[in-house]
Every structure is written in structure tokens, then in C-alpha cells.
Chains A and B, each alone.
Chain A
């Protein structure tokens, strides 16, 4: 699971009011190179919650992200490259995502989070 996707996932356990953002509990993290596409990253930035990106990145050992989105982010290649690395190149391979409200954990295996609820949680 990359942080781009983490930023988009939420817990929908029955009764939970705010299942976002999910806390990452990683046991295995990998980094692999992905071709940089500044235009794509620039289009994704307004769709992200940046504070969530930064906090999630720090929780898996990726530091150096600014507190806020650069005001000129669309043309700021340094910023876009940092964002690209955090959003697409770092991947949680094993671990879990935890619902901030209910504590329910969603396992991550082989890089794929399992967001399925149990029959009593829907």
C-alpha cells in the first residue's frame, strides 16, 4: 500500500463516525523507484489531505516533507519530487491499518490492505 492510496482509505465499521485517517502499523516497508510524473502528482495534491500524508510518511520513516503544500506546488519540482517519493515509491508490504475510532485493524498482506468488514460490522 502506497501513501497515495492510504490517503484515500477510511474505516466504515458500523457506528464509527470518523474512521479517517487510518493509523499505519507497518512491519515491513519497501522502497522502489517509480518514474516521476510531475503533472500527475500536481493533479493529485488538491485531492490529498497533506497533513495526513506527512504524518503517515513519518510513521513509516519517511522524513523531510514540508508541513504545508508549497503555494507554487504545480511548478515546484523539488516539492513535487518529495511528494512523488512519499506517495508512490514507499510501500507498506506487511502490517495493518487501524481505525482511529474503533481500534479495528485491517491487515496489509503483500502490499494489499484488506478493508473487508465482518458480518457483524456492516
Chain B
């Protein structure tokens, strides 16, 4: 019985045809690539992807090329269309360590499916991309001549091709590139990523921004890590001007959130723009910002609230919590409170105008409150995606805050300077639990700000 099962399993492995795809990455946020790929593969319903190591080269750890087997071309297309770190996806036809082995691999793997893209009726173009070296026009021309063994029957059309084919040459990532490429790829482009969309959402072009509005690519990356999809409800309890929420809305979610700062939610007070009006106007709010992008219908509503006293009822409400909590570098972290033991009640006649006193909100408390909030407010399977600032010297995985019903999915570092980085943490709710969040070594988090400024002075 066991033997038969093994044989059957082997047959099944052989018969499941995978689509071999090359993802071409932009050289930015390299450490976030694999977490994004995994999240997107799950999001489009094909978690069983395989990253193929044999296409790698020891000296190419920063290579922009990643070869992956996916269940189908459509799943590869769905993944790349949501990615903000990739540039494009290519149906991989051939691979080699030199031109001769690339040729062999192309000839060997040619089949009817591929031939159909080379028929008489297909207009095509061939692009050459060279990584870590310049390819002269002459060299490019020669390379295309060398590819003439491929049975293209259709006409070349540079302006409006039906299909674009790519020859990719990888010269590694060393400052002194070798004379010949480490590896070559050839394939058919299947789709571009949404990097151009991200540019459309650039903070520079946005009317309503604050001092800490998040980098657009990273906001969209957060929405991908959160597996945001159409019809989700996403929340940011430290919304600020809502950069993360704009990314979530673009990815299909309805959005809600809060901030302790009334001025930022309402768009009152000073503008963060260097040029233009000094004061924010009546249209400087998240709703109008979403309208600007045609996403106004995704606005469920914002609230002025203190994350230390969440105004949300404790039951599963959200599919995702996506946030950049305040950690006191650019914006101070504050919560409602008083240094006095027994603060006096506010007299009735002053209540309408009263602005509550605030005290320091320690980072370890910010984190505890955030994980508590996520554990009660997320649906099961929902995700919490947030940034954790760390002194690099003090970092160890043991300082990552934990909660019994939140499973850590990904943890990637973005280096800010030689002393400081922030880590993008992705957690998934696995069940309901009454146990509290735990932040081990809280002093490491609580001294982050002091250390940051101390180290900065010594730079």
C-alpha cells in the first residue's frame, strides 16, 4: 500500500505542470521580496509556489532575477500585477550560463505552445536588458542576430507588438563586472507590475500630507503583506494622513482608522508643504484625498481616538490592521493622561473646548496595545502589518512582541542608518485568546528614542 502510494505521488508530481516564470525585480527594498512574493501567491490562491535556487549564482545575491514555478500563467500574472517590488514577469523559455547553453536550452524546450507565439500572425519585438553592465547598440544587434535560430515567422513591430520577448544578461552584483555574463535568460513578457501605479500615488503629488506621510512604495507593500483584497475592511489606528489607508483602498479595501491628533484628521492647522498655502484648507482630509484618486466610495470613516483607549468595540471587525505606530522620532508619541495622581474633572462649562492633557506613550505600551487591539479586532486569518523601530545593536528576534493568537509571518529589515533600522512585521490571527500580549525586554523598546538621538549626535 505504501509503495503504491509513493508511486502515485511521484506520478502526480510529474503530471502537475508548473509554469516557469522569471520575476524581474527593481533594485529597491531587496529584503522584502520573498515575503511579498509569498503573500501575493497566497492572495491569488496559489500558495504552492517553488523558488528555484539552481538559477542562482553565488555572486548574485542582489540579482534582480528570481525564477519561480507557479501553477499557471494566470497566477503569475495575478502576482506581478499586485507587486510593487517587481518590474515584470517573464514566461521563461531558456536559461544558460553562457550563450551556447542558453541556445541549447531554448532549442530543447521549444514546443507547440511556444511555437504559437512565433507564428506568422504575431507581431513581436525583442528587448535586451543587461544588468550591471552597459550593452552597446552594436552588441545588442549582434545578440539579436544570434537569436535568429528561433523560428519567428511574424513581423517585427517595435511600437505595438502582440508580444515582447526579452534576453536578460546578468553580470552579477560586484562593482567590477566580469567580461561575460554569469547567466542569461530568454522569455516572453507576460505582464508588468503596478510600480507605475505607485508613482501615480506619489506623496509629492498628493495634496493632503503630513510630516510623516509614508513612502508610497512601502505603503503599497504593506497592503500586499496584509493580503488586502476587494471587499476587505482595513483599519489604521495611527492613521495620520492615511498613507497606508490610501494603499489599502487602492488594493480594494474599505478603510477606517483613527488618530489622536484632531488637527490631522480634520485637516486643520499648518500645512506640511514647503510651498503653497501655509495652512491646511477645508479639503485637506482623507476623504477628499481618496476622492482625488477616484476611491471616495472606499471611505468608511475616520475617528479621533487614542490608541491607548481604543474606541472600537472588542469583536472581530477588520480583515487587516495596517499601521506605522508613532515611535517618537519625527512625531512625538502621546496618549491621554495626566502626571497628577488624581486629575481634576473638567468643569462642565469648559468641556466643549477642553483639549485633554497628554503624557508620554512608551513604545513598549504602544506595542502591547497594538497587539491587544489586533487580537480582538481582527477576524481569524486577518493580518496585522506594522513597523517596529530598532537600534541595530540591540536587535534580536526575542524582542519581537508576541501574542498567543498572532502568528509571525514575516519580519524584514529596512536599514535607516548605521545604528537604526525598522522592521516590517506581518502577523496573522490564528484564533481567539484572552491571554495578553507580551513584550519581552520592554526597556529595549522604551530606550529606542533616547538611543536614537544619542547615536545620531555621535555620528
Chain A residues near B (Cβ < 8 Å): 1-2, 4-5, 7-12, 20, 34-35, 37, 39-40, 43-44, 47, 88, 91, 107, 109-120, 122
A interface: dominant SS: loop
Nearest A residue (CB) for B286: A112
Nearest B residue (CB) for A97: B311
**C-alpha gap A40/B231 in the complex (Å):** 5
Nearest B residue (CB) for A9: B311
Contact A119 B231 (CB under 8 A): no
Provide 7 A-B residue pairs closer than 8 Å at the C-beta atoms, listed in order of the A residue. Answer: A1-B301, A47-B316, A109-B266, A111-B287, A115-B306, A119-B356, A120-B343
Q: Does B309 make an interface contact (CB < 8 A)?
A: yes
Out of A5, A43, A88, name the residue touching B303 (CB < 8 Å). Answer: A5
Contact B311 A112 (CB under 8 A): no
**C-alpha gap A31/B381 in the complex (Å):** 34
B251-275 interface bits toward A, Cβ cutoff 8 Å, 1 = contact, 0 = none: 0001010101010011000000000
Of B28-36, B344-352, B364-372, B445-453, the stretch lying at the interface with chain A is B344-352
**C-alpha gap A91/B297 in the complex (Å):** 13
Nearest A residue (CB) for B354: A118
Within 8 A of A (CB), among B298-350: 300-306, 308-317, 336-338, 342-346
**C-alpha gap A113/B256 in the complex (Å):** 12
Contacts of B258 in A (CB 8 A): 115
Contacts of B314 in A (CB 8 A): 10
**C-alpha gap A119/B303 in the complex (Å):** 19
Nearest A residue (CB) for B312: A8
Out of B266, B300, B310, B338, name the residue touching A119 (CB < 8 Å). Answer: B338
Out of A35, A115, A119, A122, name the residue touching B311 (CB < 8 Å). Answer: A115
**C-alpha gap A122/B336 in the complex (Å):** 7
**C-alpha gap A24/B81 in the complex (Å):** 43
**C-alpha gap A37/B252 in the complex (Å):** 11
- Shortest CB-to-CB span from A91 to chain B, Å, is 8
Given contacts A2-B301, A8-B312, A118-B345, 19 further A-B contacts (CB under 8 A): A1-B301, A1-B303, A5-B256, A10-B312, A37-B231, A39-B231, A47-B379, A110-B266, A112-B265, A113-B304, A114-B303, A114-B304, A116-B304, A116-B306, A117-B309, A118-B336, A119-B338, A119-B343, A120-B342
Contacts of B297 in A (CB 8 A): 34-35
Contact B356 A117 (CB under 8 A): yes
Q: Does B292 make an interface contact (CB < 8 A)?
A: no
Contacts of A11 in B (CB 8 A): 311
Contact B230 A39 (CB under 8 A): yes
**C-alpha gap A39/B253 in the complex (Å):** 12
Q: Does B357 make an interface contact (CB < 8 A)?
A: yes
Contacts A10-B311, A112-B265 known; A117 to B303 CB distance under 8 Å? no
Interface size counted on chain B using CB atoms at 8 A: 43
Contact B337 A122 (CB under 8 A): yes
Contact A115 B354 (CB under 8 A): no
- Shortest CB-to-CB span from B239 to chain A, Å, is 11
- Shortest CB-to-CB span from A31 to chain B, Å, is 14
Contact A9 B266 (CB under 8 A): no
**C-alpha gap A111/B317 in the complex (Å):** 21
Out of B265, B309, B344, B352, name the residue touching A107 (CB < 8 Å). Answer: B352
Contact A116 B230 (CB under 8 A): no
**C-alpha gap A52/B305 in the complex (Å):** 21
Q: Does B233 make an interface contact (CB < 8 A)?
A: yes
Contact B337 A119 (CB under 8 A): yes
Contact B254 A9 (CB under 8 A): no
Contacts of B315 in A (CB 8 A): 47
**C-alpha gap A4/B231 in the complex (Å):** 14
Contact A5 B300 (CB under 8 A): yes
Contacts of A34 in B (CB 8 A): 297
**C-alpha gap A107/B266 in the complex (Å):** 13
**C-alpha gap A55/B395 in the complex (Å):** 51
Nearest B residue (CB) for A48: B317
**C-alpha gap A120/B336 in the complex (Å):** 9
- Shortest CB-to-CB span from B457 to chain A, Å, is 33
Contacts of B379 in A (CB 8 A): 47
**C-alpha gap A115/B230 in the complex (Å):** 29
- Shortest CB-to-CB span from B280 to chain A, Å, is 13
**C-alpha gap A119/B354 in the complex (Å):** 10
**C-alpha gap A12/B230 in the complex (Å):** 32
Contacts of B254 in A (CB 8 A): 40
Contacts A39-B230, A115-B311 known; A120 to B306 CB distance under 8 Å? no
Contact B303 A9 (CB under 8 A): yes
- Shortest CB-to-CB span from B250 to chain A, Å, is 15
Contacts of A111 in B (CB 8 A): 287, 301
Contact A112 B302 (CB under 8 A): yes
Contact B313 A8 (CB under 8 A): yes
Contact B301 A10 (CB under 8 A): no
B166-188 interface bits toward A, Cβ cutoff 8 Å, 1 = contact, 0 = none: 00000000000000000000000
Out of B231, B303, B351, name the residue touching A112 (CB < 8 Å). Answer: B303
Contact A117 B352 (CB under 8 A): no
Contact A43 B304 (CB under 8 A): no
Within 8 A of A (CB), among B434-450: none
